[in-house]
Amino acid sequence: MTAAYSSSGSGSPDRRDAAATPDRQTASGVLRHRWQLRSEAGAVVGSLPGGRVARLTHFGSFDGLGASWERLGSWIQARGLSAGEDRWETYVTQPSPGMDPRDLRTELNWPVAVCQPAART
């Protein structure tokens, strides 16, 4: 399952879509998504941006996702990249009752662009 977020400028992302499961296809190194909509209330069909993405795989409880997003943001900034507003999580493992939270795996994806140097005057 994938959940997409958009930064509202307040520092906390607004959740946009958490009910679609993508079928992944790779073409020319670009990850493309075909949405398979499930019958959950509030589901919205959407698309994810193409291009460069910084990705971090979070292992463990969902409680630690905030710190992992901060770590990914710091990594992006340290490399002089520009972070996009939209970002998404892909839940690689399906949580289940009695599951050890340490076995959860979540991919954090944040579109990035190379910062252009300021024009000299």
pTM above 0.95, yes or no: no
Dist CA 54 CA 106 (whole Å):
14
Q: Provide the pLDDT for residue 41.
A: 59
Of 116, 77, 91, 78, which is closest to residue 38 (Cα–Cα)? 91
**What are the backbone dihedrals phi and psi of residue 19, each rounded to the nearest 5 degrees, phi first?**
-130, 15
- Tell me the pLDDT tens digit for each residue of 62-76: 999 999 999 999 999
Task: Give the whole-angstrom CA distance, residue 53 versus residue 29.
Answer: 12
- 77 φ, ψ to 5°? -65, -40
Residue type, 95: P
